[in-house]
Structure 1
């Protein structure tokens, strides 16, 4: 499958990704040649690409095709659970991460009667925090409002712990042995 492919080709159990920089006409032609080679490879090996699932995420107006069909352009795509848009803006990813974490936190609040540190901290660390930190090296927040959105989830979780309600956010973090998400990413 890699034979003759000029751009980076990543293969997964259920998919294939072709990545390259198209900054000039030659880059566009290279991308199209690679698509054509992949289409020929699939035909020779009696396989088909699911063209319905094929998408192009690009930062230009260039369109490409797979075989005779044009590949649908998409303003954003989810890749390994991380939402990436054509401007590489990660704000929607922050919103989605905060929504998932808040949803889990709500389930904990409704389903767990104890508010002791010994109960809340391990549950938070195991079920909520991973949503706020998953692949953060890739999508780390770009804007202060995004970071504040994620910190609100942690602030809500620390307020759930009995005996810490009246402390400042920073003091609650210190008492629980946690750290600010913002400082973690620096």
Structure 2
């Protein structure tokens, strides 16, 4: 079935965040509706997930503008179609080599997202990935490294579970880190971590 094959190709195999494929410009749209409890200090900037991507970066450009006007209609492709296989390879390569923004290194920021604990033990966790979309790294392939932020706290925090909504304030570092779950392009050295649910 071409429709099923295309859906599998686009969502599962490629691992493209749904917001990018649906032409949404803000991958954090799923969590944008819940307001922050307090305003950040004046020297801390609340950033959106899109700000972690270089302006104009679009992995679809490597795959024949899939989902764009004049681009390839993935719904018409079969799993064994060489064009579909090449699109998959091109998108995976674009994701694996996703660029970060070096000018953000050392900035104090506040970022809100979903937690993916790297390890949980007695008393909570002190290490997790922050991602922009629900289910990323758990129920779906990981987003590109420029959409994954590694957080290591000085002590364990209770209540951080898979897909908890967490707001972290701290210093952003451009720092790639490979974990068993995914590769992150950034590290956030936390000053505060607020678990919302």
- TM-score category (smaller protein): under 0.3
Q: Which has the larger radius of gyration?
A: 1
Q: Which structure shows the higher strand fraction? A: 2
Q: Which structure shows the higher helix fraction? A: 1
Task: Give the TM-score taking structure 2 as reference length.
Answer: 0.25
Task: Give the TM-score taking structure 1 as reference length.
Answer: 0.26
